[in-house]
Structure 1
Amino acid sequence: QGIPGCPKVKMGTAGDYFRKLEQTVKDSRYLPKWVGELYLEYHRGTYTSMAKNKRYNRKSEFLYQDTEFLSSLAMLFGREYPQQFINQGWETILLNQFHDIIPGSSIREVYEDSTKQYEEIIGVGKELVNKATEGIGAQIDLKEQSVVVYNTLAFNRDDIVTFEVPSDVTYPCIVDDKGQMLPCQVVEGEDGKRSAIFFAHGLPPKGYKAFTLQDRKVDWDMSMKVSSTHLENEYFSVEIDDKGTFTSIFDKANMREVLQAGQRGNQIQAFEDKPMRHDNWDIDIYYQEKMWEVDEVEKVEVLEHGPIRSRVRIQKKFMDSTIIQNIYMYKDIPRIDFDTYIDWKEDDVVLKAAFPVDVHSDKATYEIQFGNVERPTHWNTSWDYARFEVCAHKWADLSEEGFGVSLLNDCKYGHDIKDGVMRITLLKCGKYPNPVADREEHRFIYSIYSHSGDWRDGGTVKMGYQLNVPIYARVEQPHKGTLPSALSMIGVNCDNVIIETVKKAEDSNDLIIRMYECYNKRTDVKVAFFKPLLKVVECNMMEKAIQPVDVQENTFSFQIKPYEIKTFKLTV
């Protein structure tokens, strides 16, 4: 009967409630509208807590996207698509994105289980990639021993390729499709096996390209300069001090210093982290009151000086923990990588890397899922002040008119940018509910990428993908086949549209193609496929048809709105 003066309660379903609510507020001019992100002024530590788990997540997501694409390409050439194994992998990835697992706020036993699950699906994913590339490679017409390189990204890629050197090859030498010899550098592979690297130009979008592998000794150009205090290539000149930090990063292309005058880059900063509540959930703003620079350098040594890349290793000590950074500079890539290993043994510490850059801007741009957002670089208001720690995916960028700096990463999410100081949060080690949070070994990469113009002009989106998405390479013996030496499965005619997903449809042998717009730019898009298309249907993310799309042989066109996500089903 209800209580007089109180609202009446009626049992029903959530669907019924929201349908009734929709009718109640429909066309109401009093209904408030929010524009922009809904920033939660709380739980900022969840961007960073349990860093190893977050790394597993990032690597697994990209691995299974790559698996879907390569398996789809192999399916078009007669191979079976391993849908059951791919779906099982995604289900495990999604399970571990559950609250509180991925935020880093679960108990210790959860992460023991999670680690086992991630390692299992990563093993399965790598095996599926190997089967797909093996199946494709076996059908390529190769007249000589070759390195077949697979680019799973949807744009032309110029990047470094790593391959395992066959035992019968003493001096690996790469020859491209124009007969030009490419510099090759022998390095130690991740598994300790003898590997080699070379810089490949023009890897086709969502496709492959074969390079001839020869055994020939060549004296390559060694124009890069490297020592324990100085690194230099055609893009940068870097000075390193006795604390292992950069006192100068001079951008040769833009003829300007990247760092603020008198400041040092790549400072590793340790802060006391004792939030008032929720150890592994929160970072409170007063963490900045107590900071120690990690500057106890134990060793600096040059480990590589070759025609493709140079490497300086810096080893530091912080209390009982060890931090080892391999700093890479490349002959043909305008980016500096900090490949980092940490054996961490501390509690109640937030660890950051800082770059005070000489860029004037009152806002910074941060990548999020399928887009990016701008946030202030000042604390003018309480809302600005509250965003002292923000999240980003593969990159954060600070740009002024004509010049900018991007801070890239391969598995980190916490950032702060204020007064020109760009910082990325590396570790956060609270003690509740997991008393040993982050007390383990960590591996990650972050990078500095300076560019002309803003992040759009500088190609930061593509550079972020290149840091995160590996190139796959297989050495193939000569054999006959029906496939050409280079092939692009699918591509678009514009830089601001990224094809993220290529997979088999859940309920048919059609292909699902998902893409998004990343520049906030309305664009007329043309998609080109490598063979004639029978039918194209625009669909939603559940792969349900919305409307047919006109097809012109192997292409179709449409308009995409700013930051819009589009999904299409292709019948080949």
Structure 2
Amino acid sequence: MKVYMVGNAHLDPVWLWRWPEGAIEAAKTCLTALELLEKHEGFVFTRGETWVHRWFERAYPEEFERVKEFVRKKRWAVVNGWIVQPDMNLPHGECFVRQSLYGKKYFREKFGMEPEIAYCVDSFGHAGTLPQILKKCGYRAFVFMRPHPHEKPLPQTFRWRSADGSEVLAFRLVTNYETFDIEKLKRNIEETLKSAIPDLPATMCFYGVGDHGGGPTKEQIEFIEKNRNYRDGVTLLFGSPLHFFDEIEPHRDKLPVVEGDLHPHAVGCYSVNLELKKLNRKAEGELLQGEALASMSSLAGNYEYPHDDFEALWEDLLMNGFHDILGGTTTKEGFEDFKKYIGGILRGIDEIKTDAALNVLRKLKPGEKEIAFVLFNPTGRHRTEYAEFEPWMNWRPYENGVLIGPDGEVPFSYVRPTSLVRNMTRILFRADVPPFGYSLYRFREGKRKSFEGLLYGDNRVENEFLMLSLEDNGELRVHFKREGIELKGEDFQFPLILSDGSDTWGHGVYSFEGKRNPVRVRRIEFVEKSELRATILRESVSEFSLIKEFISIYFGEPYLRTRFLIDYHDRLTVLKLSYRFPFRLKNIHAEMPYGFSVREPDGMESPTGRLLLVETERSWLGFASDAVHAYDAIDGEVRLTAARCVPFAWHVPYELQPDAEYDYIDEGLREFELLFWAFGERKGDELRFSDILNSPLIAMSSLKGDGSLPDRRSFLEVKPSPNVRVEVLMKGAGGEYILRSFETLGKTGEISVLGRTFEVKPHELKTLVIRDTEVFESDTCF
């Protein structure tokens, strides 16, 4: 058997050090590898990620030119081709597409090639939806290391298949990618041979000093040179993953098929650092919104789409999607850097969105004696949902107002403004906005018509879907009328504080079942009662923490919306939000990158995206959040993870000292929102609830425009079936528009664009290209 010896230098740009040190070490590591390539004929060095190559190019521009020759000879093997090795569970699906799009662009420009081997050896598990994304981004194979063999038994080499049927070849490192000495190198070779598939002609063994860079050493290279004939039937060859997959490609039919998530590993990474994960999710949503709004403005005319600005902002976000950043396992200094960079991303997007909106606003014409504002819908579905706006009244009291929309008068409620200043006005109303379009609203003096609203009784409020009430014993009662589900007191969304002795990664644990810290409700009352919304405050305390839940019910809506305000100080604990039901859970459908993973309710801590759907023996349950990324579920209980208060970058076997002071993650004030609802049948359009939190309608005050646009318009005619989710509208470099969607239900759907209808197969990720009035499918994501 051939053993391709893969010389590599694992280097985290950020981990136990800040990024400047990572950049410097990247340059040093690449220079060392270049020198070894020139001294040892035949030696092959494997390197991925654009950030490494960019910093090497900046530090050593002349030496970088020499690298190009080794790339041409396939001795400097470029794998992955992404900005970084990201977290492979938590990012939005489009992040993986952009990792490929912008990373491969760099390697085309610098080396005239595109990597075709995906390579994430250090990430903490991998979503089962990724094979389709990888395939459509031009990858034919994937190299990874986690989960380890003791966490998930897998063949060394296999065909990894996603739910749509897409496959990539996959190879798991059974040993670490690092060899600090010759003895470790020998052990890696033996362990690799032990797990190799006998029917294959080759396997791979990784070697080199890593974590903080380094790479293969002179001694390791010389050992391989001297031991080419390692033993009977075993030959050691310098090579790369490209050599290996070329060798086994003809034998792919012999390989077993693996479907679904490659989990678990380091389950604490799914939940630790709520603030960081919330900021990342917000930046993802804002970037997608910004591209859609800029595309809409471009379609309106007289607007230059900011391609370069978007690419720079995306690359900043993708850098911060690195697995030790988004996974929450970096130092406090690294986390503070992340917050600064996300702030810059959000500011940049705000500028683009405002500029794009102005181009549309100056084409509208409000009346003279009214306050006009516009709601933009940056998504591909018609939206009828609640929105809020604070019209500037120029310090005047304004108790008698009328809201006029494109179809006439719109019912609204006065709600509390965000500022505590006299004569400020804020209104809540149900908006109606077409896909990739806008609606103009006008607020003027006048007498409102009476309208139907929430029904109030003694300590209760209800709409057609559900009822909230305060019981005589002080408990909160939630009743979903149509589904016949009733939850009381600690059965509904109750905060559980559980002791957690695991490190930042959660090494060695797969669920959080520690001792429960006492939590009691000390206050519960109505704090808002209007025609369209009512809110109950439930305030709970532990010995060290305060948890406020502002639980709102809306007229005509099936969900409860909760704003959490938490001042958390229970160290070495995990905070769970518990929902206990008097019936059995059947399956969990967790949103993952461009799809859903269906899992058993086995009690294991697991990742989720913006949406979590729970199939029960009675009905369906839905959870949508702007911050929660992890859950566990078993029997009749669902628990969402809201915080893990552990020290920054604490890795076993280091033992915490009882008298020492540490900086703790998730300690202090945290704020996030959550939607919860029950429903009878899944239709595939449930991500619309997530849009309320993660892609809200964009409100902008109007300008005095020329009236060339009507009060309502959609800039792109898009009609997806309920199970087809449109995620992306962007303008390509050639002037075309790119529309990306995916099927959510496992059933054939369709999408119509500009009057042409396209079939969307079960679980398919579909990319459409719009050029002038023509629409056509693309087999790739580009």
Within the alignment, does 1:178 sit opposite 2:398 as a pair? no
Task: Kindly state the Cα deviation for residue 133 of structure 1 after the two structures are TM-superposed.
Answer: 1.3
Within the alignment, does 1:19 sit opposite 2:246 as a pair? yes
- Measure the CA separation in 2 of the matches of 1:228 and 1:296: 21
| Letter matched to residue 501 of structure 1 | V
Aligned match of 2:393: 167
C-alpha offsets along residues 460-490 of structure 1, whole Å, 9 cap, x if unaligned? 2222223321111122255432212111123
If asked which structure has higher relative contact order (CA below 8 Å, sep 6+), I would say 1
Q: Is the 8 A contact 1:176 1:182 kept in 2?
A: no
Aligned match of 1:72: 295
Aligned match of 2:381: 155
Task: Kindly state the Cα deviation for residue 231 of structure 1 after the two structures are TM-superposed.
Answer: 3.6
Aligned match of 1:329: 553
Structure 1 residues 317, 263: CA separation in 2 closer, same or farther (over 3 Å shift)? Answer: closer
- Measure the CA separation in 2 of the matches of 1:163 and 1:262: 34
Within the alignment, does 1:356 sit opposite 2:577 as a pair? no
Structure 1 residues 489, 111: CA separation in 2 closer, same or farther (over 3 Å shift)? Answer: same
Residue 442 (structure 1) aligned to one of 670, 678, 681: 670
Q: Secondary structure at the match of 1:161?
A: strand
Q: Secondary structure at the match of 1:288?
A: coil
Give ranges in structure 2 of 5+ residues lacking alignment: 1-227, 651-662, 773-782
* Structure with more strand by fraction: 1
| Letter matched to residue 425 of structure 1 | T
Aligned match of 2:328: 104
Aligned match of 2:680: 452
Task: Kindly state the Cα deviation for residue 154 of structure 1 after the two structures are TM-superposed.
Answer: 1.1
Aligned match of 1:47: 270
Residue 250 (structure 1) aligned to one of 475, 479, 487: 479
Aligned match of 1:531: none
Q: Is the 8 A contact 2:384 2:433 kept in 1?
A: yes
Give ranges in structure 1 of 5+ residues lacking alignment: 378-383, 529-554
Q: Secondary structure at the match of 2:599?
A: strand
| Letter matched to residue 416 of structure 2 | V
- Measure the CA separation in 2 of the matches of 1:83 and 1:192: 41
| Letter matched to residue 310 of structure 1 | A
C-alpha offsets along residues 219-240 of structure 1, whole Å, 9 cap, x if unaligned? 7557435699534333211234
Aligned match of 1:533: none
Matches within 5 A, 1:269-288: 269-275=496-502, 278-282=503-507, 284=509, 287-288=512-513
- Compare CA radii of gyration and give the structure with the larger one: 2
Task: Kindly state the Cα deviation for residue 22 of structure 1 after the two structures are TM-superposed.
Answer: 0.9
Task: Kindly state the Cα deviation for residue 250 of structure 1 after the two structures are TM-superposed.
Answer: 1.4
Aligned match of 1:58: 281
Q: Secondary structure at the match of 2:231?
A: coil
- Measure the CA separation in 2 of the matches of 1:256 and 1:3: 69
Residue 767 (structure 2) aligned to one of 531, 553, 567: 567
Aligned match of 2:606: 390
- Measure the CA separation in 2 of the matches of 1:286 and 1:412: 16
Within the alignment, does 1:517 sit opposite 2:743 as a pair? yes
| Letter matched to residue 512 of structure 1 | I
| Letter matched to residue 622 of structure 2 | S
| Letter matched to residue 595 of structure 2 | G
Task: Kindly state the Cα deviation for residue 132 of structure 1 after the two structures are TM-superposed.
Answer: 1.4
Q: Is the 8 A contact 2:587 2:599 kept in 1?
A: yes
TM-score using structure 2 length = 0.63
Q: Is the 8 A contact 2:518 2:542 kept in 1?
A: no
- Measure the CA separation in 1 of the matches of 2:701 and 2:668: 36
| Letter matched to residue 427 of structure 2 | I
- Measure the CA separation in 2 of the matches of 1:426 and 1:406: 17
Within the alignment, does 1:215 sit opposite 2:215 as a pair? no
- Measure the CA separation in 1 of the matches of 2:390 and 2:351: 17
Structure 1 residues 433, 18: CA separation in 2 closer, same or farther (over 3 Å shift)? Answer: same
Q: Is the 8 A contact 1:360 1:420 kept in 2?
A: yes
| Letter matched to residue 204 of structure 1 | P
User: What is the root-mean-square deviation of aligned Cα atoms in Å?
Assistant: 2.7
Residue 234 (structure 1) aligned to one of 464, 469, 475: 464
Residue 702 (structure 2) aligned to one of 462, 476, 479: 476
Q: Is the 8 A contact 2:494 2:578 kept in 1?
A: yes
Of the structure 1 ranges 421-430 and 221-230, higher mean CA displacement relative to structure 2 is found in 221-230
Q: Is the 8 A contact 1:175 1:181 kept in 2?
A: yes
Q: Secondary structure at the match of 2:236?
A: coil
Structure 1 residues 181, 570: CA separation in 2 closer, same or farther (over 3 Å shift)? Answer: closer
| Letter matched to residue 444 of structure 1 | F
Task: Kindly state the Cα deviation for residue 199 of structure 1 after the two structures are TM-superposed.
Answer: 2.8
C-alpha offsets along residues 82-138 of structure 1, whole Å, 9 cap, x if unaligned? 222222221111111102000111111100111111112112212221221122111
Matches within 5 A, 1:536-551: none
- Measure the CA separation in 1 of the matches of 2:321 and 2:283: 11
Q: Is the 8 A contact 1:412 1:426 kept in 2?
A: yes
Aligned residue pairs total 525
Aligned match of 1:313: 537
Q: Is the 8 A contact 2:584 2:616 kept in 1?
A: yes
Of the structure 1 ranges 316-325 and 406-415, higher mean CA displacement relative to structure 2 is found in 316-325
Matches within 5 A, 1:411-422: 411-422=627-638
Q: Is the 8 A contact 1:105 1:281 kept in 2?
A: no
Q: Is the 8 A contact 1:199 1:332 kept in 2?
A: no
Aligned match of 1:502: 729
Q: Secondary structure at the match of 1:37?
A: coil
- Measure the CA separation in 1 of the matches of 2:737 and 2:564: 38
